[in-house]
């Protein structure tokens, strides 16, 4: 039987370039083992450093073909898994128990679809194989509960009269100020009370081994947002904007705020980038064009994705079944999942937090 060249096997594996990190699997540190037996069977174990379930099948197929083309190889068995690590936070703040990474979703102003993006991003990260939670820190307009279909008036269980057990909704672990106060309670609070309440919610919720906790920040860039950005151990931030000049201006302020407190901005999501007519499907850029790209370029960050202004996105979210779970095969869900992979891949380039409280969990696709 032909002796299989290890060099040829490695060269075959290197033919695949990761679409989000633009590196081959060796440079990515994703190859865990590569073996060949006497019968010409090759086994490759790959572990990607970000949520990547949606591309695992294509990776497996492409690398299997490349390996089977190597002289002497009778068959190739490629296993694709993922391992999410904990990454560094600003000023080495102590991490939250049960949470590896906190991603803040923020906007310079209200009305740009920040909460809709936060919910769908959380669900998309989960669809890509991660364990995900969401915290509604938008004290004045908490809407995450409604968007996730949590019945009005439902309260989280408590432990030892001190800790909240997060609600389960569509597989996500969730907590919100809306769960602990009634809708009739007006939120007439001063800044320190608001940030204190958010920190209490964050630290007194029994998050269960999360790879990512998405924090839906209050809109704006005032004292409350700055205080939260200084106190919450955030791994990275995602800025949501629309193509309108005024929204872009506020989006820039959001980026500057996070940079001021040493929180890396993972990228910009441009919401409502084109309007899609629900009757004929015609696309029109109602709010202008290319704004997200301009911000990303100006601030040397990434345009994570562009989302259409479409009636079904609003209807599904208002109905408590966001797009990613309502229509998992739709173009909108596909875009959110692409954004989720980009966010995870961008985070995976950061320095590791070796004092992270929980070990990484690997999910394997056979």
* Confidence grade of residue 204 (pLDDT, cut at 50, 70, 90): very high
Binned at pLDDT 50, 70 and 90, residue 138 comes out as confident
**Considering only the top CATH level, what class is 90-356?**
alpha beta
Averaged pLDDT for residues 66-89: 94
Residue 246 to residue 264: CA distance in whole angstroms: 23
pLDDT in tens, 32-69: 999 999 899 999 999 999 999 999 999 999 999 999 99
How would residue 359 be classed by pLDDT, with cut points 50, 70 and 90? Answer: very low
pLDDT digits (tens, 9 = 90+) for 7-41: 999 999 999 999 999 999 999 999 999 999 989 99
Q: What is the CA radius of gyration of the chain?
A: 22
CB 12 within 8 A of CB 34: no
Q: How far is CA 320 from CA 3, 121, 125, 145, 362, in A?
A: 58, 15, 18, 8, 30
Confidence grade of residue 366 (pLDDT, cut at 50, 70, 90):
very low
The model's pTM is: 0.89
All structural domains of the chain with their residue ranges: 6-83, 90-356
- Helix (H, G, I), strand (E, B), or coil: what is residue 337? helix
The burial of 199, by beta-carbon neighbours within 10 Å (0-12 exposed, 13-18 middle, 19 or more buried), is given as middle
Q: Was domain 6-83 assigned CATH 3.40.50.261? A: no
* More confident site: 220 or 95: 95
Rounded Cα–Cα distance for residues 13 and 225 (Å): 45
Query: What value does the mean pLDDT take over residues 67-83?
Result: 94
- Cα 220 to Cα 4: distance, rounded to the nearest angstrom: 60
Nearest to 125 by CA among 107, 105, 150, 153: 105
Report yes or no: 249 and 121 within 8 Å, Cβ to Cβ.
no
The pLDDT tens digits of the residues spanning 208-239 come to 999 999 999 888 777 778 888 888 999 999 99
């Amino acid at each position: 039987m032909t002796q299989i060249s290890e060099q040829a096997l490695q060269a075959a594996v290197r033919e695949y370039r990761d679409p989000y990190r633009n590196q081959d699997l060796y440079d990515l540190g994703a190859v865990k083992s590569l073996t060949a037996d006497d019968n010409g069977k090759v086994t490759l174990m790959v572990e990607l450093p970000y949520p990547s379930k949606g591309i695992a099948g294509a990776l497996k197929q492409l690398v299997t073909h490349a390996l089977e083309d190597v002289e002497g190889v009778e068959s190739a068995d490629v296993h694709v898994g993922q391992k999410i690590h904990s990454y560094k936070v600003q000023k080495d703040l102590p991490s939250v128990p049960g949470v590896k990474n906190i991603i803040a979703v923020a906007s310079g102003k209200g009305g740009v679809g920040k909460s809709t993006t936060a919910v769908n991003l959380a669900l998309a990260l989960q669809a890509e194989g991660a364990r995900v939670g969401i915290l509604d820190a938008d004290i004045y307009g908490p809407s995450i509960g409604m968007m996730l279909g949590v019945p009005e008036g439902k309260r989280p269980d408590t432990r030892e009269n001190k800790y909240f057990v997060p609600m389960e909704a569509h597989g996500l672990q969730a907590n919100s100020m809306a769960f602990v106060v009634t809708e009739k309670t007006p939120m007439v609070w001063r800044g320190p009370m608001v940030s204190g309440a958010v920190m209490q919610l964050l630290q007194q919720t029994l998050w269960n081994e999360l790879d990512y906790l998405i924090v839906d920040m209050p809109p704006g860039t005032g004292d409350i947002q700055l205080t939260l950005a200084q106190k919450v151990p955030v791994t990275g931030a995602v800025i949501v904007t629309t193509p309108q000049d005024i929204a872009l201006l506020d989006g820039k302020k959001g980026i500057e705020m996070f940079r001021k407190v040493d929180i890396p901005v993972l990228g910009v999501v441009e919401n409502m980038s084109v309007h899609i007519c629900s009757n004929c499907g015609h696309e029109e850029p109602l709010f202008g064009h290319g704004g997200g790209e301009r911000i990303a370029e100006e601030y040397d960050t990434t345009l994570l994705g562009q989302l259409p202004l479409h009636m079904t996105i609003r209807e599904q979210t208002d109905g408590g079944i966001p797009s990613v779970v309502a229509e998992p095969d739709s173009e909108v869900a596909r875009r959110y999942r692409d954004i989720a992979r980009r966010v995870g891949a961008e985070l995976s380039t950061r320095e590791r937090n070796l004092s992270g409280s929980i070990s990484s969990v690997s999910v394997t696709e056979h």
